[in-house]
Amino acid sequence: MPTKTDVGIISYGAYLPRLLIKTEAIALANNSPNLGTCLGVNSKTVPDFDEDTATISVQAAFQAISRTKNFVKKNIQALFIGSESHPYVVKPTGTIVSAALGLGQRLAMADLQFACKAGTQALQICLSYVKSGMAKYGLAIGADTAQSCPGDALEYTAGAGGAAFIVGTKQPIVKLLATTSVATDTPDFWRRPKQNYPQHAGRFSGQPAYFYHSSYATRQILDQAGLSPADFDYCLFHTPNAKFPKAFAQEMGFTKKQMKYSLLVKKIGNLYAGSAMLGLANILDHAKNGDKILMVSYGSGSGSDAFVWQCAPGFDQGKKFYQNLVNQQIGKDFISYSHYRRLTKI
């Protein structure tokens, strides 16, 4: 159930690999049509040989911590990381991230996996820990180095990157007004044990999966929060590509202006668990006092998390610390397909 509360975002950080590949290069190498263009994706980020979910998480979280004033790291008492590409199957990514950041040992921690909504699930859990008093602050991270089988449609969109959010109750810059979730057994995308790449059900990923769950979550949170599309300054829907969220926004009555900062997928691809998280960070880079934001993630399998955020009265005060964080990280180092394949094999 959505809950009105004074808990919210204290700070945020983001990280994107500097390397990119154009979807045109992928199409030429596979001697096939450019599916990326059809899906509205022109290029995607590529992790270098020393970049994985752990390093991306550390970079994004360090940035979030460094942008706070007089913040005591050991007051972070909940750390949850959502990803489809944790470096270990058993050892938690959180233990690596915690050690690298120098967090305390009083720490609720878990790695989460719910496809592309694992990051927003981490955010919900941290918000719950803080609101209940079980933690002073929470650190929620969504990060991925998304895998895709060579030649598959996913190869044109699967990118890398992530974002981190520190949540708390002491002077949040963005307040949580409501959140809710939905989930069903809809297997549109999966990867079985010992398989190197995920599989997907093609067009089945659209209407019965992405659109149904996103619509369910959106209608539910609008109804329970007593709001309409016109009440929001910005909206953000999960971006597996640029085509789906644009069509969904139009269907739900949202405008192009409200989506102005939420379609980073065109330049960086689908970051999976980092997708909605980085999209929110980019919106906050451009928002102002009092702005309302609707955020709806989607994860295959399937489910959606929805959030209503509002920028606090003091948000503009710290604007110099929250400006162009995401855009300035979008690189221009485009690599060849052969270079890309060498890195993905690593």
Mean confidence (pLDDT) of the chain = 92
Per-residue confidence band for 1, with pLDDT thresholds at 50, 70 and 90: very low
Active-site annotation, residues: 84, 116, 238
pLDDT at 322 over 60: yes
pLDDT at 180 over 90: yes
pLDDT of residue 2: 41
Alpha carbons 308 and 225: distance in angstroms, whole number? 8
Alpha carbons 219 and 213: distance in angstroms, whole number? 10
Q: Are strands 108-112 and 76-82 parallel, antiparallel or unpaired?
A: parallel
Percent of the chain with pLDDT over 90: 80
Bridge-partner residues for 168, per DSSP?
A: 8
Whole-number Cα distances in Å, 182 to 80, 101, 223, 334: 20, 33, 14, 38
Alpha carbons 183 and 274: distance in angstroms, whole number? 19
Q: Give the SS3 label for residue 242.
A: coil
Alpha carbons 321 and 278: distance in angstroms, whole number? 16
Residue 24 token pair: 């045109």
pLDDT, average across residues 193-204? 70
Alpha carbons 336 and 346: distance in angstroms, whole number? 16
State the span(s) of the chain assigned CATH 3.40.47.10. Answer: 8-171+322-345, 174-316
pLDDT of residue 109: 98
Per-residue confidence band for 233, with pLDDT thresholds at 50, 70 and 90: very high
Query: Residues 238, 241, 244, 250: what is their CA dihedral angle, to the nearest 10 degrees?
Result: 80
31 contact partners, CB below 8 Å, separation of at least 6: none
**pLDDT, tens digit, for every residue of 269-310?**
999 999 999 999 999 999 999 999 999 999 998 999 999 999
Q: Give the SS3 label for residue 170.
A: coil
**pLDDT, tens digit, for every residue of 252-269?**
999 999 999 999 999 999
pLDDT of residue 186: 86
> CATH number of the domain at 8-171+322-345, please?
3.40.47.10
pLDDT of residue 3: 44
pLDDT at 184 over 70: yes
Quick one: angle between helices 93-101 and 53-66, nearest 10? 40
343 contact partners, CB below 8 Å, separation of at least 6: 19, 46, 47, 48, 49, 335
pLDDT of residue 204: 59
> CATH number of the domain at 174-316, please?
3.40.47.10
pLDDT of residue 276: 98
pLDDT at 213 over 60: yes
- What's the pTM value of the predicted model, to 2 decimals? 0.94
Per-residue confidence band for 194, with pLDDT thresholds at 50, 70 and 90: confident
Nearest to 98 by CA among 71, 58, 125: 58
* Identity of the amino acid at 164: A
pLDDT of residue 223: 97
pLDDT of residue 346: 56
| DSSP assignments along 224-262, one per residue | HHT--GGG-SEEEE--SSSHHHHHHHHHHT--TTTTTTS
Nearest to 55 by CA among 99, 7, 114: 99
User: How many Cβ atoms sit within 10 Å of the Cβ of residue 153?
Assistant: 18
**pLDDT, tens digit, for every residue of 99-119?**
999 999 999 999 999 999 999
